[in-house]
């Protein structure tokens, strides 16, 4: 999942300086989705689910780096995506 998120964030695979942060944000994101009511089956198949990958990408983009001018924009998009995911039937 790390490789996919890095690619979506425009970070080349060989650049590893952000890997630890991205992994922390991914874990936080998956826990947040769980707490928000996203079905476990979607979260456990996160690598194969484009909707969960998109939500995780938005979450990482919101927090990664020092530029905080677009954090709220990405968090709002993330919240909308998570809300739609919570509507998926168990």
Is pLDDT above 90 for 52?
A: yes
Is pLDDT above 70 for 60?
A: yes
Enter the DSSP assignment of 89. -
Give the pLDDT confidence score for residue 34 in this predicted structure: 96
Closest CA to 20 of 2, 32, 1, 34: 2
Is pLDDT above 90 for 3?
A: yes
pLDDT in tens, 8-43: 999 999 999 999 999 999 999 999 999 999 999 999
Give the start-to-end residue ranges of the domains of the chain. Answer: 2-86
Q: Compute the distance between CA of residue 21 and CA of residue 25 in angstroms, rounded to an integer.
A: 6
pLDDT in tens, 61-87: 999 977 778 999 999 999 999 999 999
């Amino acid at each position: 999942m790390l490789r996919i998120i890095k690619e979506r964030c425009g970070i080349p695979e060989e650049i590893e300086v952000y890997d630890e942060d991205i992994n922390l944000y991914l874990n936080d994101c998956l826990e947040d989705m769980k707490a928000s009511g996203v079905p476990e089956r979607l979260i456990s198949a996160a690598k194969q689910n484009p909707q969960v990958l998109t939500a995780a990408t938005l979450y990482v983009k919101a927090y990664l780096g020092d530029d905080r001018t677009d954090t709220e924009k990405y968090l709002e998009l993330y919240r909308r995506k998570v809300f739609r995911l919570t509507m998926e039937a168990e």
